[in-house]
Structure 1
Amino acid sequence: MINPNKFSIINPNKSPVFYGYVVLLFGSIGVLASIPGQTVGVSVFTDPVKDALGLTRNQFSNAYMIGTFLSSFFISRAGRWFDKFGARFVAFFAAILLGFSLVLCSLSVNISNFFSELLNVQSALVPFLVITVLFFLIRFSGQGVITMSSRNMIMLWFDKNRGKVNSISSIGVSLGFSVSPIFFNYLIDSNGWEKSWQILALCLFIFSFFILQFYRNKPEDFNLKPDGSKIKQTEIINVIQPNIDFTLSEAKRTRAFWIIGLILAFNSFFITGFTFHVVSIFESQGFSKSQAISIFLPISVIAISVSTLCNILSDYIKHKIYVLIMIISGFLASIGLCLLAQPIGVYLLISGLGILGGLFAVVNAVTWPKYYGRKHLGAITGKIMSFIVIASAIAPTIFSYCYTIFGSYSYISYVNMALLIVLFIGFFKVKNPQ
């Protein structure tokens, strides 16, 4: 067996506390390290970067969509890498790739000018293609691989307490995502967008060292059990596995895989599209920009509260109920978008998106190992992540065309509710494959 401590001086067997808590800390930091590749991190750079490249907002958005969409085809493969090589090496190389990609992003104007002169072409197509490729790299490595490997690693180190530790992780991650736009905006104002991306890249290169030192693939590598205890000598040869480990192909033959995967993708679609166009959505109903931005505070409060409570309860109740609540929350948010001009619409939108986002953090982390086991967790969550990434890629464009063609964002709710009705019907035959 490959030495699980290779390139590291840290030995989990000598840890004064159960090493899973160390994994919880650094895995949560790993999810936060993905922010430069997430929509919330990229959106702050949109205006200065598109202006520097000479692209319109639509061109920049389309490049983001194409890059994100292309990345979804490779994330499933990354999930298989996770199962084969473990979280430690997959997350390490993903952090290096994301850091390198951010350096290239900071040089995107120079790269674009180089190719324009080399090809003797003065067209927006050159910077469009350059930023599309760079978006592919940061979305694949950031939103996809680092997030998946860090979250899955935490889940592998816990079983009975999986929900409780995920609640701790979710609180820190939610707060980090909430304040990141403010921090990134400060970086840009103080250093410019080019140097800001370089600073973030340097942070990722430094964190990659900590990944090698502190990330560990699974407790069994060190004769430990999930949640913390030693495997007895008589158990080393034949460790009892309480769950059936489904392969990806076996998981895809269950109804739960598709219903849960699609509701998670719906969450990504709605929240990404809404976030991308939030100012325009509210301005179309007579609200100001400050009123539009202020909606994220109550949504975050509800999401963190729901996530904390439901993560803890997830160790004791059936996860199927969470899927039903997500479907109902999607209906509430969709109705709220239709009635946004009225106070009741704003309340429905806030509560629906808050509950939806809070449960997303629970279901996307805790449900998969509970339903399908731990052995092929990377392949299964990698496929689900591809659904989520595709949904986030197409959402801004669909929201935009809905507004430009029909003159209102409310029509997107009809599309949402049609999908939710299908999921609601399919929900009643969902059961835990275990």
Structure 2
Amino acid sequence: MRDLTKISLVKPQKFPFFYGYVVLFIGSIGVLASIPGQTVGVSVFTDPVKDALGLSRNEFSNAYMLGTLISSALVARAGIWFDAYGARIVAFFASLLLGVSLWLCSVSVEISEGLKAFFGFKSWLLPFLLMTFLFFLIRFSGQGVLTMASRNMIMMWFKKNRGKINSISSITVSLGFSSSPILINSLIDDHGWEVSWQIMAICLFIFCFCILQLYRNRPEDFNLLPDGYAMDEEQQKKEENEVNFTLKKAKETRAFWMFGLVLAFNSFYVTGFTFHVVSIFGSQDYSKAEAIAIFLPMSVTAIFVSTFCNILSDYIQHKIYLFVMLGSGVLASLGLLLLSSPIGVYLLVGGLGTMGGLFAVINAVTWPRFYGRKYLGSITGKVMSFLVIASAVAPSLFSYCYTTLGSYRYIGYVALAFLLFLVIGSLKVKNPQ
């Protein structure tokens, strides 16, 4: 058996209290550390970076789309790596790669000019291909691998109290994600976009050391059980009776596809909306400050919903959450259609906030509850590929909708049609266990 505490002074089995609470803390920080690779972390850089590189909004959005799509091909493989090597190793390399990628992004103009000089011609194609490659790196390492490894690790250490624990993590993550556009925008205003990316890269390099010290994959590796039980004969027998679905078996169930697709819809809508939030509100004569300010009430709604639903998730059927999330998607879609009036803003806040809160519950708690923990990495890795693909096409689809049809509101009609399909498909969903 490999040394699970190598290069670390921390021994989980000798900790004065259940080590799962340390995992909860550091795993939540790990999800927050992925923000530079998430849409909320990239969107604030959109306008200054595309202008510095000489790219149009459509070209920049397409680079984001292609980079994210390419990353989706590897995210499912990262889930298999998680099952094979554990959260500690996978998260370490993901954090390291994300930090290096951000540093490269900070000098993207210099790299672009160097490529133009080397090849002897000036074309939008060179900075476009460069940003496609860089977006691939940050989306794969940040949005994909670091997020998945950190969230799965927390779920590995808890079972009976999984919902309650996830509510604590969700509050932290929701606050961090919702406030990040405002904080990053302030950082850019004070130091410029290049230095801002470099500061975040340095923070990730420091976090790599924290991962080596504190990340641990499974309590069983240290003669512990989820929720802090001692490894006695009775508890061990209960663990052995847990039904664990392989990815192949999971894909044969309706629940896998319906829950996966509703999470993908959330990823699509939130990514497209966040990526173009300033432009979306600007098209209805709102200011940049008013556009960014929407994230605060959305976060308050998301925190309330995730806390309440996480606690209840230990006691009620998750099919209820599926339909509530679908209804929230309808509200958010109507909000985009009615954004010219104040009611549209309220619908967006309520719809996106509720979807965000339920996303935190379903994406963390539902998969281990429905399919067990043994193959959690491969299952969540496959679901993550859905989310990555959805987030990849969203910015470009939103952008072309605006530049070609003259309004973002047509996205609302497409979203409503897809939600209707999901509602019909979800009627017969049940827990595979």
Q: What is the TM-score normalised by the length of structure 1?
A: 0.96
Q: Which deviates the most, 139-148 or 408-417?
A: 408-417
Answering whether residue 38 of structure 2 is matched by residue 35 of structure 1, we say: no
Q: Which deviates the most, 241-250 or 192-201?
A: 192-201
Answering whether residue 214 of structure 2 is matched by residue 214 of structure 1, we say: yes
Hey, what does 2:156 align to over in structure 1? 156
Q: Which amino acid aligns with 1:387?
A: F
Hey, what does 1:367 align to over in structure 2? 366
- Aligned Cα root-mean-square deviation (Å): 1.6
Answering whether residue 388 of structure 2 is matched by residue 394 of structure 1, we say: no
State the Cα distance separating 1:242 from its structure 2 match: 4.1
State the Cα distance separating 1:420 from its structure 2 match: 0.9
Answering whether residue 268 of structure 2 is matched by residue 269 of structure 1, we say: yes
Look up the SS of the partner of 1:409 in the other structure. coil
State the Cα distance separating 1:17 from its structure 2 match: 1.1
Q: Which deviates the most, 76-85 or 194-203?
A: 194-203
Q: Which amino acid aligns with 2:198?
A: Q
Look up the SS of the partner of 1:268 in the other structure. helix
State the Cα distance separating 1:270 from its structure 2 match: 1.1
Provide the rounded CA distance (Å) in 2 between the counterparts of 1:112 and 1:363. Answer: 41
State the Cα distance separating 1:350 from its structure 2 match: 1.8
Answering whether residue 168 of structure 2 is matched by residue 168 of structure 1, we say: yes
Provide the rounded CA distance (Å) in 1 between the counterparts of 2:120 and 2:282. Answer: 42
Q: Which deviates the most, 291-300 or 29-38?
A: 291-300
Provide the rounded CA distance (Å) in 2 between the counterparts of 1:18 and 1:140. Answer: 32
Provide the rounded CA distance (Å) in 1 between the counterparts of 2:345 and 2:45. Answer: 28
Provide the rounded CA distance (Å) in 2 between the counterparts of 1:197 and 1:299. Answer: 25
Query: Retained in 1: the 8 A contact 2:68–2:388?
Result: yes
Change (3 A) 1:45 1:379: same
What are the within-5 Å matches in structure 2 for residues 164-203 of structure 1? 164-203=164-203
Hey, what does 2:348 align to over in structure 1? 349
Unaligned 5+ residue runs, structure 1?
none
CA offsets 1:320-343 (integer angstroms, 9 cap, x no match): 100010111111221222222333
Answering whether residue 425 of structure 2 is matched by residue 426 of structure 1, we say: yes
Change (3 A) 1:57 1:403: closer
Q: Which deviates the most, 66-75 or 287-296?
A: 287-296
Provide the rounded CA distance (Å) in 1 between the counterparts of 2:38 and 2:195. Answer: 19
Provide the rounded CA distance (Å) in 2 between the counterparts of 1:102 and 1:207. Answer: 14
Look up the SS of the partner of 2:121 in the other structure. coil
Hey, what does 1:249 align to over in structure 2? 248
State the Cα distance separating 1:382 from its structure 2 match: 0.6
Provide the rounded CA distance (Å) in 2 between the counterparts of 1:123 and 1:286. Answer: 34
Look up the SS of the partner of 1:433 in the other structure. coil
Q: Which amino acid aligns with 2:16?
A: P
Provide the rounded CA distance (Å) in 2 between the counterparts of 1:421 and 1:256. Answer: 17
Q: Which amino acid aligns with 2:139?
A: R
Change (3 A) 1:177 1:218: same
Hey, what does 1:316 align to over in structure 2? 315
Look up the SS of the partner of 1:224 in the other structure. coil
Provide the rounded CA distance (Å) in 2 between the counterparts of 1:185 and 1:280. Answer: 15
State the Cα distance separating 1:125 from its structure 2 match: 1.1
Q: Which deviates the most, 38-47 or 208-217?
A: 38-47
Q: Which deviates the most, 54-63 or 277-286?
A: 277-286
Hey, what does 2:145 align to over in structure 1? 145
State the Cα distance separating 1:67 from its structure 2 match: 0.7
CA offsets 1:330-382 (integer angstroms, 9 cap, x no match): 11221222222333333222211111111011101100000000011011101
State the Cα distance separating 1:23 from its structure 2 match: 0.2
Look up the SS of the partner of 2:340 in the other structure. coil
CA offsets 1:163-216 (integer angstroms, 9 cap, x no match): 111110111111111222233233333333222222211111111111011000
Change (3 A) 1:295 1:196: closer
Hey, what does 1:104 align to over in structure 2? 104
Change (3 A) 1:371 1:346: same
Provide the rounded CA distance (Å) in 2 between the counterparts of 1:59 and 1:50. Answer: 9
Look up the SS of the partner of 1:389 in the other structure. helix
Unaligned 5+ residue runs, structure 2?
none
Provide the rounded CA distance (Å) in 2 between the counterparts of 1:274 and 1:408. Answer: 13
Q: What is the TM-score normalised by the length of structure 2?
A: 0.96
Q: Which deviates the most, 46-55 or 298-307?
A: 46-55
State the Cα distance separating 1:235 from its structure 2 match: 6.7
Provide the rounded CA distance (Å) in 2 between the counterparts of 1:402 and 1:218. Answer: 46
Change (3 A) 1:295 1:189: closer
Q: Which deviates the most, 149-158 or 330-339?
A: 330-339
CA offsets 1:53-88 (integer angstroms, 9 cap, x no match): 222222222111111111111100000000000000
What are the within-5 Å matches in structure 2 for residues 6-155 of structure 1? 6-155=6-155
Aligned residues: percent identity? 68
CA offsets 1:88-120 (integer angstroms, 9 cap, x no match): 000001111111111211222222222222222
Look up the SS of the partner of 1:323 in the other structure. helix
State the Cα distance separating 1:271 from its structure 2 match: 1.2
Query: Retained in 2: the 8 A contact 1:243–1:372?
Result: no
Answering whether residue 380 of structure 2 is matched by residue 381 of structure 1, we say: yes
Provide the rounded CA distance (Å) in 1 between the counterparts of 2:44 and 2:407. Answer: 25
Q: Which deviates the most, 54-63 or 320-329?
A: 54-63
Change (3 A) 1:294 1:134: same
Q: Which amino acid aligns with 1:5?
A: T
CA offsets 1:258-316 (integer angstroms, 9 cap, x no match): 00000000011111111222233233334343333332222111111000100010011
Q: Which deviates the most, 269-278 or 11-20?
A: 269-278
Q: Which amino acid aligns with 2:178?
A: S
